[in-house]
Amino acid sequence: MPPPTTIPYASGALPGIGHIGSLAKDPVGFFEAQRARGPIVRARLGPRPAYIVNDPELVRHMLVAGHRDFDKGGAFYEPFIGLVGESLGTCRAERHRVRRPLLQPAFHHSRMPGYADRMRECVHHHIAAWSEREVIDPDEEMARLATGALSATMLRGTEGRRIAETFQRNFPVILSGLLSHVLLPPLSRVPLPANRRWQEAVASTYQAISELVEYRRSTAEDESDLMTMLLANSPPPGDPAEDRALHEEVFGFLIGGIETTGSMMAWALHVLATHPEEYRRIQEELEECLAGRDPRHEDIPRLRRMQRLLTEVLRLYPPIWLLSRTTVAPTVLGGHRLPAGVDVFYSPEALHRDPAVFDAPERFDPDRWTGERAGRRQREALIPFGAGARKCIGDNFAMTEGSIALAMVLQRWRVRTVPGTKVRPRIRLTQRPAGLRLRLEARSPDGR
């Protein structure tokens, strides 16, 4: 068994901060560069050693077969938990095993047709406010649309929508400062205007969550939504620790339900506007399958090209571009011994662009997901929602929303690129399109 010293080091470390400088300068590029150094690479984030896993099969082992040796946590994960709280997506395995079965019914496949109906109403309301020749920022518009869909399905009622809108206003501020708060905690405590804005945004969001919880408890409304299930599986009010846990759970679902799904839909509009042949094929599929009517849940399996489009968008632009685990005991990964308590990082963005797995990985090619081209290796390497026991509970919800929303947008409007627009990924906690602008053109009733 080779000793840990055989694992190569990442280049570019600086005294004191290690690889934090390289990571801050070009986060995605830093992780993609490690692929050439080996399947596992050693790094230093500050004074603490860490490991970067570049091989899709080893990452899958961490998430599936060997998941008991790897858990959420670590020196950089703990500050993150301290900032955003412990929700289903961020809690340790012991808590996750208890909480997930309690919340899973809210995402059962039998609920999706009803959710799709409410999503459709939200999309109607949202795109009706657009006007001919208007230039929109799809990143903002799709975030607003996702806000409406979440409040109508998971946090129903007027108060649910208000909290989602409060979160949408505050989250760009929270997101912009989150990475520095995690990597450089001392700097986050300096009384700078940016730090004060960040603290105010977090406090405002949690205040809105508190008001929602109090309102739903006082009215005893049964909306058969996520909030109902959270309250039903929480102790009676009065325990500050339990109340805080409930608030953190809502916060976590807001991140997953607005930020990541909105990002996926915005990138999808971008690639359609810049790939006219794929745009034409999607339009033909919508006309053939829907014939001008609104999509229903049962239509989604028939929209095969739409599914391939969204899958390819998630390959190229996974909203969550970086994840980590910590070893809970000494373990072996890829023939190397890893000690207990070390941070192990992996980047879905870098894994999805591995040329050893995906042909021409930088090319947008939805047809790579047709049956004859997408083998087991490619499908297992695709992890925008994770894999195994910790796979995102809302993956089907997100794909349902994306399919319904994009179909309705493209049936009503044609989107065109704005000359001179320069689109680039904005890397924070999630990856979103910066600088994206699209011009709207109304489509006629005959689809032209």
Q: What integer pLDDT is reported at residue 3 of this predicted model? A: 47
The total of other beta-carbon atoms located within 10 Å of residue 410's CB is 20
Longest dimension (CA), the chain: 68
Residue 195 in any domain: the answer is yes
| Residues with pLDDT less than 50, the chain | 1-4
Please report, rounded to a whole number, the percentage of residues in the chain having pLDDT higher than 90: 60
The verdict on residue 207 lying in a domain is yes
Give CA 48 to chain center in angstroms. 27
What local confidence, expressed as pLDDT, does residue 202 receive?
84
What pLDDT is stored for residue 186 in this prediction?
65
The predicted pLDDT at position 192 comes to 80
Q: What is the pLDDT of residue 184?
A: 64
CA 337 – CA 59 distance, rounded (Å): 15
Q: What are 115's strand-pairing partners?
A: none
Q: Are 300 and 400 in contact (CB under 8 A)?
A: yes
Identify whether 100 is part of a domain.
yes
Q: Give the Cβ contact number of residue 226 at 10 Å.
A: 23
The predicted-structure confidence for 240-293, as pLDDT tens digits, reads as follows 888 888 988 988 888 888 888 999 999 999 999 999 999 999 999 999 999 999
Count: domains in the chain: 1
Output the pLDDT for position 11.
86
Is residue 9 in a domain?
yes
pLDDT of residue 447: 55
Give the span between the Cα atoms of 228 and 219, in whole angstroms.
12
Asked, for residue 448, whether it belongs to a domain, the answer is no
Instruction: Provide the pLDDT for residue 185.
Output: 64
What burial class does residue 303 get, using C-beta atoms within 10 Å of its C-beta: 0-12 exposed, 13-18 middle, 19+ buried?
buried
Which CATH number do you get for residue 324? 1.10.630.10
SS3 track for the chain: CCCHHHCCECCCCECCCECHHHHHHCHHHHHHHHHHHCCEEEEEECCEEEEEECCHHHHHHHHCCCHHHEECCCCCHHHHHHHHCCCCCCCCHHHHHHHHHHHHHHHCHHHHHHHHHHHHHHHHHHHCCCCCCCEECHHHHHHHHHHHHHHHHCCCCHHHHHHHHHHHHHHHHHHHHHHHHHHCHHHHCCCCHHHHHHHHHHHHHHHHHHHHHHHHHHHCCCCCCHHHHHHHCCCCCCCHHHHHHHHHHHHHHHHHHHHHHHHHHHHHHHHHHHCHHHHHHHHHHHHHHHCCCCCCHHHHHHCHHHHHHHHHHHHHCCCCCCEEEEECCCEEECCEEECCCCEEEECHHHHCCCCCCCCCCCCCCHHHHCCCCCCHHHHHHCCCCCCHHHCCCCHHHHHHHHHHHHHHHHHHEEEEECCCCCCEEEECCCEEEECCCEEEEECCCCCC
Q: pTM of the prediction? A: 0.92
Q: How far is CA 8 from CA 4, 57, 272, in A?
A: 9, 19, 40
Tens digit of pLDDT for each residue in 387-415? 999 999 999 999 999 999 999 999 999 99
Write down the residue that tokens 């858990």 correspond to. Answer: 71
Is 447 within the bounds of a domain?
Answer: no
Tell me the C-alpha distance between 433 and 213, whole Å. Answer: 33
The span from the CA of 307 to the CA of 303, in Å, is 6
For residue 267, what are the domain limits?
A: 4-442
What are the backbone dihedrals phi and psi of residue 280, each rounded to the nearest 5 degrees, phi first? -60, -40
The pLDDT, as a whole number, for residue 445 is: 58
Residue 42 located in a structural domain: yes
